Structure 1
Amino acid sequence: MENIKVDVIIPAYHPGKEFSTLIERLTKQTFPIHRIIVMNTEETYWNKELEEKFSILEVHHLKKQEFDHGATRAWAAELSDADVMVFMTQDALPADKSLIENLVKALTEDEKTGAAYARQLPNENCSFVEKYTRSFNYPDRSAVKTKDDLPVYGIKTFFCSNVCAAYKRDIYQKLGGFVRKAIFNEDMIYAGRLIQEGYAVAYAADAKVIHSHNYSCMQQFHRNFDLGVSQAEHPEIFAGVPSEGEGIKLVKKTINYLIQKRKIWLIPGVILQSGCKYAGYLSGKNYRKLPRKMILWCTMNREYWKV
């Protein structure tokens, strides 16, 4: 791992105080980072003092209407000449100093591994139910997923999260990288292609970031609508690999967990949230049948629909 060059790539929008904390933690990693490439939306909201404080930063500005989940990251990848590109979001914080080291280790243990994603831990304000959801989606045991695991993991075989994920640049370039137009889910679309082409995706449980949200029911609806749209637009990846089963499994396990912990008053909220998730997802999968006004109401990314 000694001669491996690593760039970290972070899309940013209205970065606040936590962004400075993120950069500071990255500069203190045990594995050295070559550059931190920031793709900032709207220069007006950028704090130029950050560039004076952290010389490792390379900042590129774009307009809000130019941002795209896939294209913006693809552009950043073109700016990188590193062996490994680590993509992060501005609201994820390294839990310790070995995040990058553990990601690189997971990525380089096998030449067939093209991507490795980190474990997401709940932040201090995380709700009780969301803490359990984090542990369900990000367990404490690492795993490497290949095409052979599709019968076992189903849609989870393609799971990868750009909240914090590392990619081998040579494989990334060979497969064409992230899709250039993506409403959401650019990470899973690419991971799906990796799996289909015979590569592997690693989950590195010892590479940890602090990241969680307490979404409302309507936020879950909008988020899952865009998720459904992304799957509908990429049948070459998701057709024949339904994700509904994973959702049902999570609901059942969460309810059982709440019963065990004697917090049954939280169960109605879980059922309501799950209903909103599924309604959003189903609407997104069938977005072509919806009028434009309905689509714009359902989505959380209105810019995506502007022609």
Structure 2
Amino acid sequence: MNAAEGWSRLTSLLLESIAADRVLILDSSSTDETVNLANAAGFRVHVIARSEFNHGGTRQLAAELLPDAEILVFLTQDVELAQSDAIRCLLEAFTDSGVAAAFGRQLPRRGATPIEAHARFYNYPAESGVRTLSSREQLGFKAIFISNSFAAYRREALMAVGGFPRGVIFGEDTVTAARLLLAGWKLAYVAQAKVYHSHSYTWMQEFRRYFDIGVLHHQESWMLSEFGGAGGEGGRFVRSELRSLWPRYWWLIPSALAHTAAKLLGYRLGRVESLFSVGLKRRLSMNRLFWN
């Protein structure tokens, strides 16, 4: 939605790696020039009402609109390819017939804050890797980490596990990754396929985002049963973040701790969302349309 401002960054390298008629823009009723720009570029465009947007359902719709695609590549509108061959590098993972999904490395956007940059370097290291169900013994919940901001799926595998879930508030990529591993498929992280993508959230945005993650973990609690809780990984992240800030960016530590507190509070409230009214959950959530 409303991708016109960064359109040239989104499309300049994209058009070097894929034919325009193989690109589908699924637009949730943008109010800027996004649709006109997409049509002018020769892309296929499908517009839905903003009220119909759903993280899993909208991506599943995209997959169904491209029935002849063996591999489906997903990009969000705020991603900038860091290299012209980023998609080709990502697709190389599928030379292994057991790989069902692959995701690339997300680097901090230009002008990112130190806190924002650390999150990207922590979650997207320079080393590639392939995960199987047995990876949960070492990685726990991290074994199903994936991001649909820049990811690709083997259609056969995706559809075999029911496609993207339509009824989740957020984290459709994580749910799908868990289903794929449980079905015996592999997940590939391809560090050589790089994009720029990060966010500088306010503490309130962090709270809302983690409230939604808590809701997901409450409503899809089977993931925690199969892959363990995310608490240990959260603690490791905070310790790594503080080390990255001290001493060079010491004055940012109070802000980092405030954001951590907001995340923790949001997550814990999300885990008990069934106690709240729909109206309150809508006010606490980042994905408010989910509660309509």
TM tier relative to shorter chain: over 0.9
1:61 to 47, 61, 71: 47
Q: The residue matched to 1:148 in structure 2 has which SS?
A: helix
Q: 1:48 to 1:184 in 2, by over 3 A?
A: closer
Q: The residue matched to 1:288 in structure 2 has which SS?
A: helix
* Structure-2 residue corresponding to 1:16: 4
2:178 to 151, 174, 192: 192
**For residue 18 of structure 1, what is the amino acid of its counterpart?**
G
Given that 2:102 and 2:153 are in contact with CA atoms closer than 8 Å, whether structure 1 keeps it comes out as yes
Q: Does 1:91 align with 2:78?
A: yes
1:85-132 residue CA offsets vs partner (Å, 9 max, x unmatched): 0011000011001111111002x1321110000100011121012211
* Structure-1 residue corresponding to 2:216: 230
C-alpha distance in structure 1 between counterparts of 2:179 and 2:39, whole Å:
39
1:237-295 residue CA offsets vs partner (Å, 9 max, x unmatched): 23351011111100011112222x43322211111111111111111111001233321
Q: The residue matched to 2:229 in structure 1 has which SS?
A: coil
Given that 2:4 and 2:32 are in contact with CA atoms closer than 8 Å, whether structure 1 keeps it comes out as no
The alpha carbon displacement at 1:154 in A equals 0.9
Given that 2:114 and 2:245 are in contact with CA atoms closer than 8 Å, whether structure 1 keeps it comes out as no
Given that 1:225 and 1:283 are in contact with CA atoms closer than 8 Å, whether structure 2 keeps it comes out as yes
* Structure 1: runs of 5 or more not aligned: 1-12
C-alpha distance in structure 1 between counterparts of 2:272 and 2:178, whole Å:
21
C-alpha distance in structure 2 between counterparts of 1:38 and 1:243, whole Å:
33
Given that 1:43 and 1:62 are in contact with CA atoms closer than 8 Å, whether structure 2 keeps it comes out as no
* Structure-1 residue corresponding to 2:92: 105
C-alpha distance in structure 1 between counterparts of 2:192 and 2:35, whole Å:
34
* Structure-1 residue corresponding to 2:207: 221
1:143 to 123, 129, 146: 129
C-alpha distance in structure 2 between counterparts of 1:33 and 1:194, whole Å:
30
What percentage of residue pairs aligned between the two structures are identical?
35
Given that 2:104 and 2:190 are in contact with CA atoms closer than 8 Å, whether structure 1 keeps it comes out as yes
C-alpha distance in structure 1 between counterparts of 2:50 and 2:35, whole Å:
19
How many residues align structurally? 290
Given that 1:40 and 1:46 are in contact with CA atoms closer than 8 Å, whether structure 2 keeps it comes out as no
The alpha carbon displacement at 1:164 in A equals 0.3
1:136-180 residue CA offsets vs partner (Å, 9 max, x unmatched): 000000011111110211111001100100000111111111001
Q: Does 1:299 align with 2:279?
A: no
Given that 2:217 and 2:271 are in contact with CA atoms closer than 8 Å, whether structure 1 keeps it comes out as yes
Q: 1:66 to 1:48 in 2, by over 3 A?
A: closer
TM-score by length of 2: 0.94
1:247 to 229, 234, 239: 234
* Structure-2 residue corresponding to 1:39: 26
* Structure 2: runs of 5 or more not aligned: none
Given that 1:20 and 1:50 are in contact with CA atoms closer than 8 Å, whether structure 2 keeps it comes out as no
* Structure-1 residue corresponding to 2:255: 269
* Structure-2 residue corresponding to 1:7: none
Q: 1:44 to 1:258 in 2, by over 3 A?
A: closer
**For residue 270 of structure 1, what is the amino acid of its counterpart?**
A
Q: 1:86 to 1:100 in 2, by over 3 A?
A: same
TM-score by length of 1: 0.90
* Structure-2 residue corresponding to 1:9: none
**For residue 184 of structure 1, what is the amino acid of its counterpart?**
F
Q: The residue matched to 1:60 in structure 2 has which SS?
A: strand
Given that 1:27 and 1:33 are in contact with CA atoms closer than 8 Å, whether structure 2 keeps it comes out as yes
C-alpha distance in structure 2 between counterparts of 1:19 and 1:247, whole Å:
34
* Structure-2 residue corresponding to 1:282: 268
Q: CA RMSD in A?
A: 1.6
The alpha carbon displacement at 1:199 in A equals 0.9
* Structure-1 residue corresponding to 2:114: 128
Structure 1's consecutive aligned runs of 4 or more residues displaced over 3 angstroms after TM superposition are: 31-34, 43-49
* Structure-1 residue corresponding to 2:192: 206
